[in-house]
């Protein structure tokens, strides 16, 4: 895994994958920091135990492929221990 830069371009890509993700939508993750780009910025401030896992779109995302990410669910688990 490579580290993902927090750029406007990557946020825009993320918006197309995290944005429609059922986990993102049903848990209203847009209302909590860091809102998007969890693979760069880390976990959602919404507590882990309060997030219902409804699936993850990260494996389809261009950022995921470009930076050779693994696992997904970065809003819940971040990237700690996976690098
Ligand atoms: S990191 Fe994965 S599970 Fe979390 S909102 Fe984005 S696509 Fe969904
Ligand atoms: S890998 Fe997941 S968190 Fe990272 S930009 Fe893509 S959809 Fe967003």
Task: Dump the DSSP string for 38-49.
Answer: HHHH-S-SS-GG
pLDDT digits (tens, 9 = 90+) for 10-52: 999 999 999 999 999 999 999 999 999 999 999 999 999 999 9
Domain boundaries, the chain: 8-77
Protein residues whose CB sits closer than 6 Å to any atom of ligand 1:
17-18, 21, 23-24, 29, 38, 56-58, 72-75
Q: What is the pLDDT of residue 81?
A: 53
Which DSSP state fits 31? G
Evaluate: CB of 61 within 6 angstroms of ligand 2. yes
Per-residue pLDDT band at 82 (split at 50, 70, 90): very low
| Six token digits for residue 73 | 């669910």
Q: For a pocket test of ligand 2, which of 13, 23, 71, 82 has the largest count of ligand atoms closer than 8 A to its C-beta?
A: 13
Contact 14, 63 (CB under 8 A): yes
pLDDT digits (tens, 9 = 90+) for 60-78: 999 999 999 999 999 999 9
DSSP SS3 for 11: helix
Q: What is the pLDDT of residue 27?
A: 98
Residue from 65, 78, 60, 66 nearest 20 by CA: 60
Q: What is the pLDDT of residue 83?
A: 41
How far apart CA 46 and CA 7 sit, in angstroms, is: 23
């Amino acid at each position: 895994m490579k580290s993902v830069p927090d750029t406007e371009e990557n946020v825009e890509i993320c918006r197309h994958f995290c944005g429609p993700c059922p986990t993102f939508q049903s848990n209203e993750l847009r209302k909590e920091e860091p809102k998007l780009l969890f693979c760069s910025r880390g976990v959602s401030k919404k507590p882990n135990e309060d997030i219902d896992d409804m699936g993850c779109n990260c494996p389809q995302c261009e950022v995921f492929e470009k930076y050779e990410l693994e696992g997904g669910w970065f809003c819940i688990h971040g990237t700690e221990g996976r690098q």
